[in-house]
Amino acid sequence: MISAFATDGRIVTHGLKTLRDDRGFFPPYDAAPVVRAELLLRHPEIRDALVALAGTIDEETMCALNSSADQLKKSPTMIAREWIEARSPTNSIEAVARTSRQTQSDTGIWTMLVRRRAELGRKTIEHLGLTTAAIFIAISIGVPIGILIHRFGRWAPVVLSATEIIQTIPSLAMLAFLFALYRVLGTTPAITALVLYALLPITLNTYTGLKGVSPAIVEAANGLGMSRGQRLRMVEVPLALPVIVAGIRTATVWTVGIATLSTYIGAGGLGDFISRGLARNDTRLTLLGAVPAAIMAVILSLMIRVLERYAKAHRPNAAR
């Protein structure tokens, strides 16, 4: 047993058996036409001929074609022409272009969804994991910072300005900086970037919510003999909670969107489909990542909105 390329021509030549990747460890084989954009601008008719080839070459077919080149010593041009003529009803390249629309219909978005449902499930879980981890870390950092700058007001402009500056850094540039810092690809730099971007709405809303508590209520709490900690836990935070949750909701929606860029540093997620689709000019593959990401953002936003309304309905009577 050896590790080999699934399209190696020697598999056919020597009658080898390729084991099924039932765990989906390796990415699926997808042969795609590649052509320079300048050539398409000069000869747009080439696009129709090439689009018809997309999705028509599977692993077995490519394995047989490679065997013809490696073992039979045929030229790639001859092999390609023979394959096109063998599958074309009129034995011409022009016929391939005429079947373009039919080919795209046969491999539509629904077909791709069914074929890639296992990978889609894994990528969705990866994306949700990145988002959830980043939000929980951002909450554990942002809420205490918001409380501290409310208590020590002179630091508020400095801290909030710093979080705003982070927001102005382009996402890909931030990922590049963190990759240079960590010197490693994967979830660590991705989650760090997501946490940094989520800090602003969480910190700002925590500070704003606490600042919006009526001074009369704070004075009443002091009159009851509450310590600072008791006043914070029992009065200020419950009153500011709806505003804090609103900041968490905003941060969550942002994080779902920014997490799609994590694919560029090897963190996975639904951005893998989007990047592959853009690279191959395949709208179906792009939508396979974009649509679930949008749905995830909407669902998480609605779930947190319910918590926001619950917090608003159950806050102390003095705030209603």
Rounded to 5 degrees, φ, ψ at 84 are: -65, -45
3-state secondary structure labels for all residues of 241-261: HHHHHHHHHHHHHHHHHHHHH
Q: In this structure, what token pair is assigned to residue 295?
A: 């749905």
Structure token digits, residue 314: 């159950």
Rounded to whole angstroms, the Cα distance separating 317 from 320 reads: 5
First and final CA of the chain: distance in angstroms? 71
Q: How confident is the model at residue 102 (pLDDT cuts 50, 70, 90)?
A: very low
pLDDT at 259: 92
Per-residue DSSP letter, 18: P
Domain boundaries, the chain: 10-107, 114-319
The residue to which tokens 């900086």 are assigned: 177
Report the pLDDT value the prediction gives residue 244, as an integer from 0 to 100: 93
| SS3 assignment, position 283 | helix
Question: Mean pLDDT over residues 187-203, rounded?
Answer: 93
CA atoms within 13 A on the CB side of 18: 16
> Taking the CB of residue 314, how many other CB atoms lie within 10 A of it?
10
Q: Binning pLDDT at 50, 70 and 90, where does residue 109 land?
A: low
- CATH number, span 114-319: 1.10.3720.10
pLDDT of residue 108: 61
Cβ-count burial of 176 within 10 angstroms (0-12 exposed, 13-18 middle, 19+ buried)? Answer: middle
Using a cut of 0.75, tell me whether the model's pTM lies above it.
no
